[in-house]
Amino acid sequence: MPSRVDALKRAKDLVAALEAMEEYQVPQEWFSFHEETKDLISRRGRGREQLAYSVPEELALRERVALYCVENENPGAGNLVAAVLDSFLRSHGYPPPSKPTKS
């Protein structure tokens, strides 16, 4: 049986998901980087993990990301992928997990 704490956390996560969806109602806005994400990826010394997925070679994603980085102030391929994927997921109602609150 779920506890009140579990139900409260789930409710907060659902509220955050709804707010994330509202934030990106204009189709072009889902592609803008969230302020928290921009801040997070700009900081040095952050923990990083590899994100490996197989994608169709025909999309030439590695080459296109590398070219974008060369032509646009080199945000770094990992930062670009993280920010774009984060924007997409936020726009579809999947924000990062809410930070636990101290009680």
What would the pLDDT profile of 22-69 be if each residue is shown by its tens digit? 665 555 555 667 778 778 777 777 788 888 889 999 999 889 888 888
Residue 17 inside a domain? The answer is: no
Length of the chain: 103
Residue 3 inside a domain? The answer is: no
Residue 80 inside a domain? The answer is: yes
Residue 16 inside a domain? The answer is: no
Rounded CA separation 74/89 (Å): 23
Residue 82 inside a domain? The answer is: yes
pLDDT at site 1: 55
Q: Which domain holds residue 45?
A: 26-91
Which has more confidence, 64 or 1?
A: 64
Residue 61 inside a domain? The answer is: yes
Helix, strand, or coil here: 54? coil
Residue 67 inside a domain? The answer is: yes
By percentage, how much of the chain surpasses pLDDT 90?
4
Rounded CA separation 53/47 (Å): 20
Output the CA–CA distances (angstroms, integers) from residue 30 to 24, 35, 93, in the order listed: 5, 12, 11
> Structural domain tally of the chain?
1
Residue 60 inside a domain? The answer is: yes
C-beta of residue 78 within 8 angstroms of C-beta of residue 72 = no
- Does the pTM surpass 0.85? The reply is no
